[in-house]
Amino acid sequence: MPNTPAILLLEDGTSFAGQACGKIGTATGEICFNTSMTGYQELFTDPSYFGQLLISTNVHVGNYGIKETESESDLIQIAGLICRDYTNSFSRKQADQSIEDYFTQNNLVGITGIDTRAVVRHVREKGAMNAIVSSENTDIAFLKNELKNVPGMEGLELSSKVTTKEAYTYGNPDAKYKIAALDFGIKKNILRNFDNRDCFIKIFPATTSFATLKEFQPNAYFISNGPGDPAAMDYAVETVKQILEENKPLFGICLGNQLLARAVGIPTYKLHHGHRGGNHPVKNLKTGKCEITTQNHGFAVDMEALKKSDKAVLTHINLNDNSVEGLEIVGKKAFSVQYHPEAAPGPHDSRYLFDDFIRMME
């Protein structure tokens, strides 16, 4: 691979020098890090990462290649990649192509050969911020000026940029259950988990009206994960309110958890540096059991507001920082979690939630 110089510049003026990987160019977005040891392709294609520069804390990226069937969406969703060792050669016989071919074909800009531990420690201390990666212009003054034009994540509505343009179906039309899913950036493995449980799913664009969802005559509704600030999604909150009025089973994941909270008047806020990885401990307050979970979010539900609410109750809590990880709506067949029970990548401790949803439909 050519040894082209590249620069990572953070919003606070901190810079790191490395080498280019993927396409020669420039990428901007909010910087975040994921601590997962495997599953880099699933992370690249997770729509919840749209508009973000992803740091992989795992040293080796690309060492087992790229396999088409392991994508969580049809496109690479990250704005750019930051890693320590970008490995173009791969040993897995089942892989379809190298990471470099994959990135080049998808116009993805990245930087490698930098101390990612130092970058992550900096972000953990200073908090999430915008950044720029460039291999076409390494002049710091120029990059600082470019970075001024990048919008902050807070107040940014992004789900409309990653949602499906047209409604589509997934699974067996003769399945026992029908689910209407609002797509704010839905992952394929969520659909696989529903399909495996005898569900036929119709996936609707983010701005679909409740009346259109209801025409499908579903047994239940699903609110997906996705990118951006839930406080900028009043259109989605209104739809969730209308779903709650019908009082059919409702399940939300990640952004779906935040939208469900806001639908009953509980606010959300931006986390200092987010939760992203496959090793986050969560306690189920109903069973007393703990789970190791997969997470990917930069916003969360306000804990104090939830405790004071008579509309919802806390069901799951993060054992690292005591943040909200799940809730149920009082008097409704509606619940949600902040983490990803479909776990691609990650542990399968939380897949019982899909079974709980099925039982709710029964």
**Predicted TM-score (pTM) of this structure:** 0.96
Q: Which two tokens stand for residue 317?
A: 């809590």
For residue 265, the domain's CATH number is 3.40.50.880
d(CA 172, CA 164): 20
Q: How many structural domains compose the chain?
A: 2
Q: Among 347, 349, 344, which residue's Cα sits nearest to residue 42? A: 344
Indicate whether 40 belongs to any domain: yes
For residue 133, the domain's CATH number is 3.50.30.20
- E strand map for the chain: 5-10, 15-22, 26-34, 52-56, 60-61, 80-82, 85-86, 109-112, 130-134, 168-170, 177-182, 199-204, 220-223, 250-253, 268-284, 290-301, 312-318, 324-329, 334-337
* Confidence at residue 354, expressed as pLDDT on a 0 to 100 scale: 98
* Confidence at residue 3, expressed as pLDDT on a 0 to 100 scale: 87
Indicate whether 10 belongs to any domain: yes
Catalytic residue among 42, 83, 254, 325: 254
Same domain, 143 and 36: yes
Indicate whether 152 belongs to any domain: no
Q: Does residue 254 have an active-site annotation?
A: yes
Q: pLDDT, tens digit, for every residue of 128-140? A: 999 999 999 999 9
Same domain, 205 and 344: yes
Q: Among 136, 87, 106, which residue's Cα sits nearest to residue 44? A: 106
Strand 324-329, strand 334-337: pairing: antiparallel
d(CA 256, CA 134): 34
At residue 270's C-alpha, the angle toward residues 269 and 276, to 5°, is 125
Same domain, 180 and 290: yes
Catalytic residue among 70, 100, 291, 342: 342
Same domain, 19 and 47: yes
Per-residue HEC secondary structure of 19-46 comes to: EEEECCCEEEEEEEEECCCCCHHHHHCC
**Mean pLDDT computed over 5-22:** 97
Same domain, 262 and 209: yes
Same domain, 254 and 279: yes
pLDDT band at residue 51 using 50, 70 and 90 as cut-offs:
very high
First to last CA, the chain: 56
Indicate whether 154 belongs to any domain: no
| Mean per-residue pLDDT of the chain | 97
Q: Among 147, 145, 142, 118, which residue's Cα sits nearest to residue 132? A: 147
Same domain, 200 and 335: yes
Q: Does residue 275 have an active-site annotation?
A: no
* Confidence at residue 287, expressed as pLDDT on a 0 to 100 scale: 97
Indicate whether 153 belongs to any domain: no
Indicate whether 87 belongs to any domain: yes
Q: Are 212 and 204 in contact (CB under 8 A)?
A: yes
pLDDT value at 1 more than 70: no
Q: pLDDT, tens digit, for every residue of 138-154? A: 999 999 999 999 999 99
Same domain, 128 and 212: no
Q: Are 305 and 159 in contact (CB under 8 A)?
A: no
**Mean pLDDT computed over 182-192:** 98
Q: Which of 147, 175, 197 is the last residue of a domain?
A: 147
Same domain, 97 and 123: yes
Q: Give the distance, in angstroms, between the CA of residue 330 and the centroid of all CA atoms in the same chain.
A: 27
* Confidence at residue 27, expressed as pLDDT on a 0 to 100 scale: 98
Indicate whether 51 belongs to any domain: yes
Q: Which of 83, 113, 147 is the last residue of a domain?
A: 147
- List residues bridging with 16 in a β-sheet: 8
Same domain, 208 and 260: yes
Q: Does residue 199 have an active-site annotation?
A: no
Same domain, 208 and 341: yes
Strand 290-301, strand 130-134: pairing: unpaired
Same domain, 32 and 132: yes
Q: Domain residues for 93?
A: 5-147
- At 317, phi and psi to the nearest 5? -135, 145
Catalytic residue among 275, 297, 316, 340: 340
**Mean pLDDT computed over 61-76:** 96
Indicate whether 302 belongs to any domain: yes
